[in-house]
Amino acid sequence: MKTLGIFRHAKSDWNDARLRDFDRPLNTRGRKGAAIMGKHIRDHAVGWKRILASPAVRVTQTIELAGEAAGETPPITWDRRIYLANSATLMDVLREQEGDPPSIILIGHNPGLEDLIFDLVPDDGTSPLRDIVEEKFPTAAYAVLELDIDSWADIDEGCGRLAHLVRPRDLDPALGPSAVD
C-alpha cells in the first residue's frame, strides 16, 4: 500500500491584474489557511516522505507557511508539469517516482487535483468523503488516499480509497467561503 496526500494551494490574491497566473501570491486568508492546514497535516501524523509540488508562487508560499506552522518540511521535488496539470499528467508524475517512498504529498492546483481524486477513488457510493469533494475541493483542502499498489509505477484509476479530508473551514469557520480578506 502507498499513501498519497493531496493538498491544494491556499487562497491566492487576484488584486494585481498585471501578474501572470503563475506569479499570483497568497492573500491574507490564504496565508492563514496555509498555516492552519500545516498544523493539521503535522497533527494527522502520516509522516510524509516526499513533497511533489508545482513551482507556482501560490504553491511555494503555501508550502513555506504550512512548513513553518508544522515545524518541518519533507524533501521537495518541484515539477513544472504539476502547474495546472490534468489528472493523467499527475499520475504520470507519480509513476516516475524513484526510490518508491511509502508516502508522497502532491501540492498543486485544481481542477487537476480534484480530478485525480475522482480518478483514483471509485464512485461506488461508499465514500461520503468523495461526495464532499464532488461538491468542491476548495483552496487549502487536504486529502489522504490509501492506494492499493506496491509501487508508484502501478498507480491507476480506481486503486484508491479516500481516507481523510479536511478543509480550512473545518478547522476555523472564519476561513470558510463567506469569509472576506
Please say if the pLDDT value at position 84 is more than 60. yes
Please, which pLDDT band fits residue 181 given cuts at 50, 70 and 90? low
- Structural domain boundaries, residue 130: 2-175
Count Cβ atoms within 10 A of the Cβ of residue 89 and give its class: 0-12 exposed, 13-18 middle, 19 or more buried: middle
Write the pLDDT tens digit of every residue in 33-69.
Answer: 999 999 999 998 888 999 999 999 999 999 999 999 9
Q: Which amino acid is at 57?
A: V
- The average pLDDT across 152-163 equals 97
Count Cβ atoms within 10 A of the Cβ of residue 54 and give its class: 0-12 exposed, 13-18 middle, 19 or more buried: buried
| 125-to-18, 130, 131 alpha-carbon distances in Å | 44, 9, 8
In a domain, 149, yes or no: yes
Look up the CATH number of the domain holding residue 103.
3.40.50.1240
In a domain, 63, yes or no: yes
- As for how many domains the chain has, the answer is 1
148 close to 160: Cβ distance less than 8 angstroms? yes
Please say if the pLDDT value at position 175 is more than 90. no
CA distance 86 to 52: 15
